[in-house]
Structure 1
Amino acid sequence: MNNKTRQFFVAALMAASLGTVIAAQAAGAVESLRGRDVETQSREPGKYATEKDGPPIERNYVQQPPLIPHKIDGYSITTNFNKCMDCHSWTRYRETGATKVSLTHFKDRDGKELSNISPRRYFCNQCHVPQTDAKPLVENTFKKAEGLR
């Protein structure tokens, strides 16, 4: 492909992309997945609000990560600090009344036990999400696993 042809394709792709963005914004189709500030406890259809602190929702299948039964807005989880461990660490869970981190979080990929949380399990919100009042986006016929009924 020569340089002129390449420039033409790049220009055409940029024009098409820009046109798509402008059309979507004009139609009001571009918005956050949450659709609003999670601090406002909106009950608008299609929007959700983080549940207030409360008891955990039951799990639906055996290996399901537990949902977080409280807000985590402003929680910092970086390579140097994990706000969740202020309450959920093995040294603090009794004092705070929080659930302690599972022993499974202290194993590496080969099953070897570690003295600290595995780097694969350190970023809690990779698997754990706050409970919400979200309504299903599509019809759902999911049934709980037999072993948990």
Structure 2
Amino acid sequence: MKRILLAVLAVSALMAGVVQSEESTPAKPVSEAVAKTEILNPGGIGGLESLRGSAELEDTRPADPMKHYPKDQGVIDNDYVYQPPLIPHTIRHYEVSLNANKCLACHSWKNAKEMGATKISITHYVSPQEGQVLSDVSPSRYFCQQCHVPQADAKPLVENDFKRVSALQ
């Protein structure tokens, strides 16, 4: 009985403190600059603009136009040492999953010559943990788009002043 009485007293004291703090909290004065910002930017993103523009996260904006991938560019030169080669064609509708890898239909050692495609590197057949050569593509190299990307004819998202390695020019 004492425990119940103590619990009721504790809860009532807590509620009284909350009510008292709400009553005693003074209203914050709003400066003219803050008021103007809230009028111009009611969404509360602080005037910042991201790569997706100034749209609110909850708002839906029109999709960006599709990127143009040239039909067949041939081999694209590397810009730096150990750069994974770029894909010179579109990969739209290519399935790369646990059950299938469309890339290997052309680029595997078995099919590359017949398809006129570049063979995948021998390093893709080496297990990175043990360093042993496997009879099939290493599971760590199976998902091609982790490293290789198609080269789209698109404007950069951010300004870039990258310079190629002079030895590769």
The alpha-carbon deviation at position 138 of structure 1 amounts to 2.1
Alignment of 1:59-138 (within 5 A): 59-110=78-129, 111-138=131-158
Aligned to 2:77: 58
1:120: how far off?
0.7
Post-superposition CA distance 1:31-89 (Å, at most 9, x none): 65xx24x4xxxxxxxxx322222212211011111111111111111112111111111
2:144 maps to amino acid? C
Listed as ranges, the matches of 1:9-28 within 5 Å are 23-26=56-59, 28=61
CA distance in 2, matches of 1:113, 1:145: 31
Deviation, 1:147, is: 2.4
Choose between structure 1 and 2 for higher RCO, CA contacts under 8 A separated by at least 6 residues. Answer: 1
The aligned amino acid for 2:157 is L
Counterpart of 1:44? Answer: none
How many Å separate the matches in 2 of 1:76 and 1:99?
A: 19
How far does residue 146 in structure 1 lie from its aligned partner after superposition? 2.8
Q: Percent identity?
A: 49
Q: In 2, Cα distance between the equivalents of 1:66 and 1:60? A: 10
Structure 2 spans left out of the alignment, 5+ residues = 1-43, 46-54
CA RMSD of aligned residues (A): 2.3
- Max radius of gyration: which structure? 2
Query: Per the alignment, in what secondary structure is the counterpart of residue 140 of structure 2?
Result: coil
CA contact (8 A) 1:51 1:130 kept: no
Instruction: Tell me what 1:7 maps to.
Output: none
Taking structure 1 as reference, are residues 114 and 139 closer, same or farther at Cα in structure 2, changes over 3 Å only? same
What is the SS of the residue equivalent to 2:113? helix
Runs of 5+ consecutive residues of structure 1 not aligned to the other structure: 1-18, 39-47
**One-letter amino acid matched to 1:50:** Y
